[in-house]
A and B are shown apart, each in its own frame.
Chain A
Amino acid sequence: MASFITRRFLQLLITLIGISIISWVIITQAPGSPIALTIDPKVSPKIVEQMMKNYDLDKPIQQQYYLWLKKLFTGQLRSFKDGRPVMEKINERIWNTLLLNLVATIIIFSLAIPLGVFSAKRQYSFLDNLGTFGAYLGISAPSFWLAYLLILGTVELFGYPVLGMRSFVTENFTTAEIVMDRIWHLMLPSIILAIGGLAGLSRYTRSSMLEVVRQDYVRTAKAKGLPEESVYYKHALRNALLPIITIFGFLIPDLIGGSIIMESVFAWPGIGRLSYQAVLARDYPVVMTILSISAVLTLIGNFIADILYGIADPRIRYQ
């Protein structure tokens, strides 16, 4: 186990260096990057000066990279737009995004696994085929389109506002009404954010279950007369769910990508909307910090998932 963790940790370190290099290359070397703009006469000298300072352009290239890294990790990078520390801006918004993604993740896992098991149990039944087609629809539909259909539908039906984290006028609301209002505003974007993951994970659970129920130990359990339910939910499901641990790691980049679109549609004041506004305003320190943080979070998520998988399934450790 120790050698397995060490090996994975070394890979993590190498990947971490890779992430920092790629982030830095994009921001400083790509055509059209802010650094390339410093020689553009249309850009005001004030901004050019700020960028020269931000990226230490007067220093040799390896030192530029080192200093950028140092600023990134010590939180010294400042937004081009309002000069505030990037970390402060991110800290204001990230909790809203985490709330949204937490609810979406709960929706995904609480619905996808029962759905997948149900489909596997009745393979090729009408409901299973319906589920398969539904999952394809969920994967294929553009999320922003679904969001607009949902907005169109709910506003026509209930006539109640859906954008933002809460309604604008809440002075004469009772506490219960305020709570209901918050939940309402949270549910719609979470549902749309969850659809893709729900479709994917339920299919994954289904095929994983189908693979497991063909195994010898499941046949043995059936042969020794265990009740069907017990075979399915105790013996088969536990083993079928093992590979799903690794999905947790892959969920992070998808949710971040999804948040950009969902938070823009629903005017949700989170990190996704902040990134989009930063991209629009060409506020590169903010963009690059969020991009690097997301990459590092994904890396850590994958690392933890790998270790958990190694603990849960000893076969993995010796690959």
Chain B
Amino acid sequence: MENQQAKSFWHYFKRRRMAVGGLVMIVIMFLIAGLASFLAPYDPGKTDVSVKLKPPSLQHNVGTDQLGRDVFSRMLYGSRISLSVGFVAVGISIFIGILIGAVAGFYGGWVDSLLMRFVDTMLCFPSFFLILTVVALLGPSIFNIMVVIGITSWMGTARLVRAEFLSLRERDFTQAAKALGVKDPRIIFRHILPNALAPVFVSATLKVASAILVEAGLSFLGFGVQPPVPSWGNILTEGRTYIFDAWWLTVFPGLAILITVLSFNLLGEGLRDALDPRLRGRR
């Protein structure tokens, strides 16, 4: 049965060329991030003022910055920041979302009402501004950024998991487990949760995309990963002073962010369509 489902999922997924393209790009991005130290032609921190602000050339294929550092090497290392912030932040957010959604959906009643009002409340805050404020309070560091994005973006997951739980807890297998005297946590995590994970997985993919954008936005405002550690956002920020003299400092890091975020968005949409039987026939 499991195998059959996986097969049919793959059958529908691989027909979505844009989503497969996104998946391939993500794998490539991971390889780049992992192998940055082998792939980088220069040390990303090495300054050389004799070649500062040089346009793309054979020696420096996407040019150099105001300190003569090789932008291509800096971008290769910068991919690590974007990907790790994306994944860890979403991991935290999914964890909180599942916990709150599962408890609300499984127990219902006043527990559910209380938790859902909490979700409503959190959703009212403009998330980017809230993240900016809290990161500024705690001080910008990669760890703080991951945690703050994580604890301010779990609401969607919680609603999703709650809705799944509300319907799954009425199903026969849950009732059977209850009748057998299985303890609540075991019913929640072993019996119901595995059946509710597919939509969570889809939304997680899309959330990685938005987490990467948030990190870039924070870096842009000076509250991201601090220089000299390179991230795509802070290469862009340092480059904006020279925008009319050195366009490559603006164009290429932005393009890297765009391609990565686009890949996650395409993959997420493709997964959603392939996992949703109602959408399958449409294409």
Contacts and interface: CB of A to CB of B under 8 A. Distances in A.
Interface of A: 11, 14-15, 18-19, 22, 26, 30-33, 124, 133, 136-137, 139-145, 148-149, 151-152, 155, 252-254, 256-258, 260-261, 264, 275-276, 279-280, 282, 287, 290-291, 294-296, 298-299, 302
Interface stretch (B28-36, B65-73, B185-193, B246-254): B246-254
State the 4 A-B residue pairs at the shortest beta-carbon distance, nearest first. Answer: A257-B128, A18-B121, A145-B254, A253-B126
A180 to B, nearest CB: 24
Interface in B226-254: 233, 236, 240, 243-244, 247, 250-251, 254
Given A19-B121, A279-B133, A261 B217 contact: yes
B266 interface: yes
A18 B138 contact: no
Interface stretch (B6-14, B100-108, B257-265): B257-265
A152 B243 contact: yes
Contacts of A252: 126
A144 B217 contact: yes
B79 to A, nearest CB: 15
B1 interface: no
Nearest to A253: B126
Nearest to A294: B126
Contacts of A299: 124
Interface in B108-159: 117-118, 120-130, 132-134, 136-139
A148 B129 contact: no
A142 B257 contact: yes
For chain B, give the interface size range.
35 or more
B243 A14 contact: no
Interface in B174-224: 209, 213, 216-217, 220-223
Contacts of A151: 243
Nearest to A196: B213
Contact of B137 (A33, A140, A142, A261): A33
Contacts, number: 135
B265 A139 contact: yes
Contacts of B130: 291
A149 B139 CA distance: 30
Contacts of A302: 124
A254 B217 CA distance: 13
Contact of A15 (B124, B247, B254, B261): B124
B121 A22 contact: yes
Contacts of B258: 137, 140-142, 145
A257 B126 contact: yes
Nearest to B269: A136
B261 A253 contact: no
A109 to B, nearest CB: 20
A212 to B, nearest CB: 15
A121 B240 CA distance: 42
B117 A261 contact: no
A22 B244 contact: no
Contacts of B123: 253, 298
B275 to A, nearest CB: 16
Contacts of A282: 136
Contacts of A294: 125-126, 129
B20 interface: no
Nearest to B121: A18
Contacts of A290: 129
A33 B220 CA distance: 23
B127 A31 contact: no
A254 B130 CA distance: 12
A154 to B, nearest CB: 12
A298 B137 CA distance: 24
B283 A124 contact: yes
B23 interface: no
B18 interface: yes
B235 to A, nearest CB: 11
B125 A291 contact: yes
A139 B261 CA distance: 9
A197 B266 CA distance: 18
A257 B127 CA distance: 7
B46 to A, nearest CB: 26
B125 A19 contact: yes
A316 B256 CA distance: 43
